[in-house]
Structure 1
Amino acid sequence: MTSVREIEILADGAHAGQTDKIGVPYVEHVRAVAAGLRPFGDELVMAGLLHDILEDTDWTAERLRKAGVPTRVVEIVEAVTRQPGMAYDEMIRRVTADPQATLVKIADNAHNSHPARAARLSADQRERLAAKYRAARAVLWPAANRDDIEAVVRLVNPSLLGELDTHS
């Protein structure tokens, strides 16, 4: 399984029937994350499509490998997967050890922070998640190249471009 289309089909099946916090089919989130990674090549697009598969489905890293998912893609997916009992901020710090995983998490964060998505949450949820994602960006963005961050944010959530200017 080496094509982006094959990985997209795998992700569609794995996330079938799942919805996100705002009631949208979950696969739309992984597609949006993957779309933000297109400038970086097929491996990162694949990792974007699969970035939540280990956390949110019964798929395992071993099963992904056996299905033919490229080894590096599985490694990136493992790097962005929160382990049981691991605090979110600890996971974010761990992600920054891998530059490609960092870009996947930046795309994930950008989509989760999109104003159109946030607007559909309760005020309490919106404020709590905005703070969580802002704190994550404070760790993720310094670990990545500014031009790469801009490329992702421009595609996934252009409203964050102003925030990027304050991080320069």
Structure 2
Amino acid sequence: MIIRAMNLVDIYFKDKKDKGGNPYTEHLIYVMQNVETTEEKVVALLHDIMEDTDITEKEISDFGIQKVYIDAVKILTKKSCESYDQYINRIIKSKNQLAINVKIVDLEHNMNLDRLKIITSKDMVRNHKYKQAYNKLLPLKKVL
């Protein structure tokens, strides 16, 4: 399943860059490498795919990704109509441990300002928002 997820990442993120200008796949691989279970690794690789690309749930399913992973990815996909706080609260209310554990590592990496070439005030505001979310989620982390 990890290989299928990695193939999707290669297809959908191959030309994308992160805020620091680095290949976006580096972020996805970092998150994958810093979660524990195979299930978490699959979700880690795919956690941004529905939010940052045009792939649909059906296309992910047709690629052979199982519903348990897709459900976690959907939880981790911020809806355009929700605020960041609403998004984090939705993850918490879901009680989906795969989503919670992956989001914690995602936030840890997103808070690493060393990834940016220049740190702006906007970056600092975003980092503060990430730290608040991290502090809400961290007590919910469980080993699967």
Tell me the distance in 2 between the aligned counterparts of 1:136 and 1:110: 10
Residue equivalent to 2:139: 142
Contact conserved, 2:13 with 2:24, CA < 8 A, in 1? yes
Write the mapping of 1:7-156 to structure 2, written as runs, cut at 5 A. Answer: 7-37=5-35, 39=36, 41-96=37-92, 97-118=95-116, 120-145=117-142, 148=143
Tell me the distance in 2 between the aligned counterparts of 1:121 and 1:55: 25
Q: Amino acid of the residue matched to residue 123 of structure 2? A: R
| Structure 1: tracts of 5 or more residues without a match | 149-168
Q: What is the RMSD of the two structures over their aligned residues, measured on CA atoms?
A: 1.4
Contact conserved, 2:31 with 2:109, CA < 8 A, in 1? yes
| Dislocated runs of 4+, deviation >6 Å | none
Residue equivalent to 1:153: none
Residue 6 of structure 1: how far off its partner (Å): 2.2
Q: TM-score, normalised on structure 1?
A: 0.79
Tell me the distance in 1 between the aligned counterparts of 2:127 and 2:104: 14
| Structure 2: tracts of 5 or more residues without a match | none
Q: TM-score, normalised on structure 2?
A: 0.91
Residue 126 of structure 1: how far off its partner (Å): 2.9
Aligned length: 141
Tell me the distance in 1 between the aligned counterparts of 2:114 and 2:31: 15
Contact conserved, 2:61 with 2:70, CA < 8 A, in 1? yes
Tell me the distance in 2 between the aligned counterparts of 1:44 and 1:138: 20
